[in-house]
Amino acid sequence: MESKEIRKRFLAFFEKKQHEIVASAPMVIQNDPTLMFTNAGMNQFKDFFLGNAEPSSNRIADTQKCLRVSGKHNDLEEVGMDTYHHTMFEMLGNWSFGDYFKKEAIQWAWELLTVEFELPADRMYASVFGGDEADGLEMDQEAYDFWAAIIPEDRIINGSKKDNFWEMGDTGPCGPCSEIHIDLRSDEEVAQTPGKDLVNMDHPQVVEVWNLVFMQFNRLSNGSLQNLPAQHVDTGMGFERLAMAVQGKQSNYDTDVFTPLINFLADAANVKYGEDEKADIALRVIADHVRAISFAIADGQLPSNNKAGYVIRRILRRAVRYGYTFLDFKAPFIHTLVPLLAEQFDGVFPELIAQKDFITKVIMEEESSFLRTLDKGLSKLEVITAEVKKGTKIIDGKTVFELYDTYGFPFDLTSLIARENNLSVDEEGFKKEMEIQKNRSKKAAETSAGDWVELKPIEEVQFLGYESLASKAQIVKYQAIEEKGKKLFKIVLDQTPFYAESGGQVGDTGYIADGDKKISILDTKKENNLIIHFTNELPANLEAEFDAVVNGKRRKLTENNHSATHLLHAALRQVLGTHVQQKGSLVNEKSLRFDFSHFSKMTDEEIAQVEKIVNQKIRENIALDEKRNVPIADAQALGAMALFGEKYGDFVRVITFDKDYSVELCGGTHVPATGTIGLLKIVSEGSVAAGVRRIEAITADKAEEYYNKQNELITQVNELLNNPKDPLKAIEALVKEKQELAKVIESINQEKAGAQKAILQKAIQSVNGYNVLISEAQLPDTDGLKKLSFELKNEVDNLIMIVAADIAGKPQISIMIAEGLVKSLDLHAGQLIKELAKEIKGGGGGQPFYATAGGQDLSGLPNVITKAKAIIDGITNH
């Protein structure tokens, strides 16, 4: 059975059991401070478990893109080493929100596996939670009994808290779980060792396929458990592991989910999968990682230097390294897998096909730049090994760490190269450095939070900010937090005019007031779907009815920039083409920033054309057409562009400025009509990442300020030029005049140097066959002095020349000695000049035959002459 069919059947099975089938949430998470990436199917439903929001159906099923490379669930180091952990994988899941519970969850799971997929019942084991003293929890007898009704009791296992109590993170929804494990070994092996002994023992063919979690608790920040308002089911089954079982394979990489990638790679590397352990690991690592990277990019997370972007960059680098070291891929290659991957997910996750070229380009650039770093690192390592060979023969921990940190060399690669050179590495020292860095970044990121204090039960928070900038409000709940040593409070209001940062638009600021007691709202952010107001104090009377008031001026300026972003987006697609897609934006009261996919630098003409279109649309004063609660299909029929990586509900908000010009899905706030924006000016255009350009622009008063400043500058220039009729011509004339004057000066200088040369020639004295010239001089520039020195050397035999010159008020010494004399007299101009330069408070140097020095003290020139004469006399007169 092909994997596509397996996925389909899973969803159809639960659809038949009245589950609503929903789309996967993006793998990259945007509005959750506790999670960077989706690590389980339940993440997108967190609010339903916590009672913060209502699901559209109390039974849901889906396949969810997950990534387990950071935080509580991090499998990165296993990936490639084993055959059943991936970075990115699909989690098939079915959910009950306060509907069915343990009985149905267990029965249906069993039915799906044994009837629908015909997996052997006698090769499966179920585990149940065995209880935990510290948490005061007893064993899950209920789940045990339901299993005992289906399978023999000797195939039920009591599991520990580690394996059978599921938690999303340090806090949040959690509960006991029941896992289904399958034994895929051969009959002979099974006869030798019973599968039961191998459950949860990291055996690659006795693996967990499905986890049924019974959500009952909320873990608080002090570690204690609180009952959730209702009981829920949350199940997660690894799609790739299920495919392994159904297809009768012994490794996820032998299923049709991975074989096309593995074969393609093995061909390119000219190896056979399954023949060499090291090459096999590398093939698995790359086949796995290309999925994680591609889906992350498709969801809008580009590789970068911080946070989620850095996690993606590190995954990519891990893949490049394995290819480089074990498959001899010395040029970018991972990006060539993207078309194949996109093909595979056609009809399942359309975001790959739709952005195939973009993803390919981003990965290729990233690969090339890392390969360059690797090369640099290798040459550095060569230098280090040569050095270490002479000494201790151990590469110290600090150096190993530096290679890791700056050049992406992991410990194992460095020690491999060390071994090849008969050296060893200081592993302890390396670990210590790693620890130090970890602590440093931990400290930087440290935030602590108390538990939420609930004041008022509420169904759903009302956002009033589309209509008004002020409203009455009561506090629903609050939480004290500490961020980088600063105490803050998060407040949730029952209704609020405050816009929470999202879709690139900054959160509102303002205040809440109880009578004349005002408390500032410093920022507003979204956490999942909750609107959180940040303050640094709590009101005295928490239960008061407050006036919630938004800083209206700031909001309106922000709206100018937000609406301008929509106009800009449409203009860019007109001018550059429809491949232009929004890749990020930032909109605040000062300016707007818009990132979009496009492969080359915009020309000045293109920029001017975009500005022209946008300003035209501003002057047309197009009224805002805002539609809320539009079914997503209808919105797309209107031509609205959905952005990949955004999580849209079934109903969306559509913002239109002229239905033939700009239609976008957007939750932000906008101007009532485009005329309000006044004017748009693009101030910069540049590259932010491979294939992504960034435009920065200003609008309204900021744009006016910009033009005023430009104008003022021109006025000042005109004044300097005495207000000519045509300032451009006046400046051209000035430039020309300056060039002509420079020529005149040049020829005067030459004349002066010529005259000076004649004087110096006369001052040459013949002493015992040497032509000695020791003299002061006056020259317009140092070049003249140099030229003169060389001319005299060529014209006069046996020359010993020391000239102390006044060069436009600065002292300068030049020494020139005929090359034959350098040896015979053992004279060294470079050394002699050091002695003489002392007299002018300066320094210099040069070759044995020619040297120069500059100084500070012009009055020292006569002393230079005296000293020079004394020295040269001593040499020439003996």
The residues that bridge with 814 in the sheet, in sequence order, are 803, 852
CB of 487 to ligand ATP, least distance (A): 35
CB of 647 to ligand ATP, least distance (A): 21
CB of 235 to ligand ATP, least distance (A): 8
User: With respect to ligand ATP, which residue has the nearer C-beta, 316 or 803?
Assistant: 316
Say if residues 490 and 453 touch (Cβ distance below 8 Å). no
**How many residues comprise the chain?**
878
Alpha carbon distances (Å) from 698 to 322, 562, 585: 46, 11, 14
CB of 153 to ligand ATP, least distance (A): 22
User: With respect to ligand ATP, which residue has the nearer C-beta, 200 or 565?
Assistant: 200
Tell me the two tokens of residue 605. 């003409």
Calculate the dihedral angle through the C-alpha atoms of 542, 546, 549, 550, rounding to the nearest 10 degrees: 40
Under DSSP, the state recorded for 28 is B
CB of 163 to ligand ATP, least distance (A): 7
Tell me the two tokens of residue 20. 């609503």
- What's the number of CA atoms in the CB half-sphere (13 Å) around residue 604? 0
User: With respect to ligand ATP, which residue has the nearer C-beta, 86 or 681?
Assistant: 86
Would you say 562 is a known binding-site residue? yes
**Can you spell out the DSSP letters for 433-453?**
HHHHHHHHHHHHH-EEE---E
CB of 213 to ligand ATP, least distance (A): 7
CB of 99 to ligand ATP, least distance (A): 21
Residue partners of 871: CB distance under 8 A and separation at least 6: 832, 835
Would you say 670 is a known binding-site residue? yes
User: With respect to ligand ATP, which residue has the nearer C-beta, 80 or 678?
Assistant: 80
User: With respect to ligand ATP, which residue has the nearer C-beta, 236 or 377?
Assistant: 236
578: left (phi over 0), alpha (psi -120 to 50) or beta: alpha
The residues that bridge with 511 in the sheet, in sequence order, are 520, 549
CA–CA distance, 302 with 76 (Å, rounded to integer): 19
CB of 252 to ligand ATP, least distance (A): 7
User: With respect to ligand ATP, which residue has the nearer C-beta, 171 or 529?
Assistant: 171
User: With respect to ligand ATP, which residue has the nearer C-beta, 93 or 645?
Assistant: 93
Would you say 666 is a known binding-site residue? yes
Say if residues 686 and 66 touch (Cβ distance below 8 Å). no
CB of 234 to ligand ATP, least distance (A): 10
Q: Which one-letter amino acid corresponds to residue 319?
A: A
**Can you spell out the DSSP letters for 548-581?**
EEE-HHHHHHHHHHHHHHHHHHHHHHHHH-TT--
CB of 76 to ligand ATP, least distance (A): 9
Strands (E), 423-497: 424-425, 447-449, 453-454, 462-463, 470-473, 475-483, 486-493, 495-496
CB of 86 to ligand ATP, least distance (A): 4
CB of 210 to ligand ATP, least distance (A): 5
CA–CA distance, 722 with 868 (Å, rounded to integer): 54
User: Which of 164, 201, 198, 167 is closest to 183 using CA atoms?
Assistant: 198
Say if residues 377 and 408 touch (Cβ distance below 8 Å). yes
Tell me the two tokens of residue 343. 């093909």
CB of 96 to ligand ATP, least distance (A): 17
CA–CA distance, 655 with 664 (Å, rounded to integer): 5
**Can you spell out the DSSP letters for 211-278?**
EEEEEEEEE-TTS-EEEEEEEEEEEEEEHHHHHHHHTT-SSGGGSTTTHHHHHHHHHHHT--TTS-HH
User: Which of 343, 347, 368 is closest to 356 using CA atoms?
Assistant: 343
CA–CA distance, 700 with 698 (Å, rounded to integer): 7
User: With respect to ligand ATP, which residue has the nearer C-beta, 84 or 144?
Assistant: 84
Say if residues 680 and 703 touch (Cβ distance below 8 Å). yes
CA–CA distance, 120 with 216 (Å, rounded to integer): 31
Q: Which one-letter amino acid corresponds to residue 778?
A: Q
Judged by the rule CB under 6 A, the positions of this chain that interact with ligand ATP are 68, 75, 85-86, 89, 91, 208-211, 236-238, 240-241
* DSSP 3-state of 348: coil
Q: Quick count: other Cβ atoms within 10 Å of Cβ 503?
A: 20
β-strands 486-493, 546-550: how paired? unpaired
CB of 65 to ligand ATP, least distance (A): 12
* Host H or E run for residue 706: helix 700-720
User: With respect to ligand ATP, which residue has the nearer C-beta, 109 or 237?
Assistant: 237
CA–CA distance, 514 with 675 (Å, rounded to integer): 37
User: With respect to ligand ATP, which residue has the nearer C-beta, 209 or 279?
Assistant: 209
User: Which of 372, 80, 367 is closest to 251 using CA atoms?
Assistant: 80
| Phi, psi dihedral angles at 24 (to 5 degrees) | -65, 140
The residues that bridge with 137 in the sheet, in sequence order, are 132
In the bound state, the residue with its beta carbon closest to ligand ATP is: 238
User: With respect to ligand ATP, which residue has the nearer C-beta, 43 or 528?
Assistant: 43
User: With respect to ligand ATP, which residue has the nearer C-beta, 75 or 620?
Assistant: 75
* DSSP 3-state of 712: helix
CB of 240 to ligand ATP, least distance (A): 6
The angle at the Cα of 338, spanning 336 to 344, to the nearest 5 degrees, equals: 130
Q: Which one-letter amino acid corresponds to residue 42?
A: M
Binding site membership: which residues?
562, 566, 666, 670
Binding-site residues from annotation for Zn(2+): 562, 566, 666, 670
